[in-house]
Amino acid sequence: MYEEQQLGAVEHGPLAGFTVGVTAARRADELGALLQRRGAAVLHAPALRIVPLADDGELLAATKEIIDQVPDVVVATTAIGFRGWIEAADGWGLGEQLLGGLRGTELLARGPKVKGAIRAAGLTEEWSPSSESLAEVLDRLLEEGVDGRRIAVQLHGEPLPGFVESLRAGGAEVVPVPVYRWMPPEDITPLDRLLDATVSRSLDALTFTSAPAAASLLSRAEERGLLTDLLSALAHDVLPACVGPVTAIPLQVQGVDTIQPERFRLGPLVQLLCQELPGRSRALPIAGHRVEIRGHAVLVDGVLKPVPPAGMSLLRALSRRPGWVVPRADLLRALPGAGRDEHAVETAMARLRTALGAPKLIQTVVKRGYRLALDPATDAKYADA
């Protein structure tokens, strides 16, 4: 599991200064590495775990049913699921019989990875959609006509909204093949830590690669009485990024808008974050410098400056009204856990100035407070940069 990455490993990537949460159980290492290579700090907590059903009577019964009565069509939805199915059948001594049955059916693969798994098993798919979308698979089946046809669908732990229902409405007999299930994580502590970080706005973005992961996080937030806070954070401050539209469904049901790449892959998801997060950060012309305020760091003339959490709280408070004097009392309220001692503001301000490496960025206004030394004359120039 990833711990929060320390700043400095990759200082100039497009995600430098941002913290991204990862909820994935599968391929989390790959997603985390892609984010870190682009400079992000990563906080990982699996929102669920995958439980294979190799010893599950439901999968065994479905496998025997398909062997005894070969369906007209078999829809393979995921590579890991298809491989798991073949491996489970081998374990029961039914592998060759299952493969023999699949050779006599119309085998549809959702995408290239599923095609690879099918061919690795010595089979050949009849067709695969260019969009890698189950919606296109459904359209093809309905156009061909499914009335009276027997169709096996390899489920993959996620909801397939309307897929099975549409086939049955068209007159098909559908045989579900449940290869694995999603379950809550055995250790809930990391997920609670990720949830707390989201609610406290310590994250800049939160990624989802499966609908069950999104549903699991929402469910845990509701159990802890934090659902309203979580939805508010995702609506206003923490960018929710989903690998595709099916993944986004549990969030959309709660009224949360998400961003999604055009291609439903991890690489495009990370590239989308590389575009979106810097675009959401604020760049200001201050005391002859270009200052870009990011999640947990600041870029001063393109150089990354790690800033302590208290300093970031002060800087954000000052940046809400750049150039205006912010009273010490207001800055004190912005400091988490500072109490009533205004000396805490002076201490945090001194550390902030040291971290920025340019003391003149923030001016002290005697007996009043502090202000960012905004350069209004160069505002337009920086805005166009």
Which residue did the predictor score with more confidence, 342 or 194?
Answer: 194
Question: Would you state the structure tokens that stand for residue 161, as one six-digit string?
Answer: 């909204």
Q: Tens digits of per-residue pLDDT, 44-80?
A: 999 988 776 655 788 899 999 999 999 999 999 988 8
pLDDT tens across 156-208, in order? 755 565 788 999 999 999 999 988 777 889 899 999 999 999 998 889 999 99
Question: pTM score > 0.85 for this model?
Answer: no
Secondary-structure class of domain 19-48+185-280 per CATH: alpha beta
Dist. CA 315–CA 296, nearest whole Å: 11
CA 129 to CA 126: how far, in whole Å?
Answer: 11
List Cβ neighbours of 82 (8 Å cut-off, separation of 6 or more).
76, 114, 117, 118, 121, 154, 179
Tell me the residue length of the chain: 385
At residue 87, the 3 state secondary structure works out as helix
Give 238-289 pLDDT, tens digit per residue. 999 999 887 898 999 999 999 999 887 899 999 999 999 998 887 889 988 9
- Say which amino acid occupies 314: L
In this structure, which amino acid lies at residue 376?
Answer: P
Q: Strand 173-178 relative to strand 41-44: parallel, antiparallel, unpaired?
A: unpaired
What mean pLDDT is predicted for residues 13-39? 92
252 versus 339: which is more confidently predicted?
A: 252
Residues of the chain with CATH 1.10.10.10: 282-384
Q: Answer yes or no: is pLDDT of 347 > 70.
A: yes
Mean pLDDT of 319-327: 90
pLDDT at 343: 84
Looking at the chain, the domain(s) classified CATH 3.40.50.10090 span 19-48+185-280, 51-182
Per-residue pLDDT at 160: 62
pLDDT attached to residue 158: 56
Strands 289-293 vs 282-286: parallel, antiparallel or unpaired = antiparallel
pLDDT above 80: residue 377: no
pLDDT at residue 353 greater than cutoff 60: yes
Placement of tokens 């995921």 in the chain = 78
pLDDT of 332 > 60? The answer is yes
Place of tokens 């609506």: 235
* CATH code reported for the domain at 51-182: 3.40.50.10090
Q: How confident is the model at residue 8 (pLDDT cuts 50, 70, 90)?
A: very low
135 compared with 144, residue with greater pLDDT: 144
Task: Find out if CATH 3.40.50.2300 is the number for domain 282-384.
Answer: no
Residue, of 328 and 382, whose pLDDT is higher = 328
The model's pLDDT over 109-121, given as tens digits with 9 standing for 90+, comes to 988 889 999 999 9
What value does the mean pLDDT of the chain take?
Answer: 87
| pLDDT at residue 6 greater than cutoff 60 | no
Residues whose CB is less than 8 angstroms from the CB of residue 3 and which lie 6 or more positions away in sequence, other chains included: 43
Who wins on pLDDT, 263 or 94?
A: 94
- Among candidate residues 218, 205, 223, 203, the one with its CA nearest the CA of residue 251: 218
Q: Higher pLDDT residue, 157 or 93?
A: 93
Distance CA 35, CA 274 (A): 9
Number of H helices, E strands in the chain: 16, 17
To the nearest whole percent, how much of the chain has pLDDT over 70? 91
pLDDT tens digits for range 140-161: 999 999 999 999 999 875 556 5
Provide φ and ψ at 51, rounded to 5°. Answer: -110, 110
pLDDT at 58: 84
Arithmetic mean of pLDDT, 318-344: 83
Residue 9, pLDDT > 70, answer no
Pinpoint the alpha helices (H) of 79-120: 79-91, 95-103, 112-120
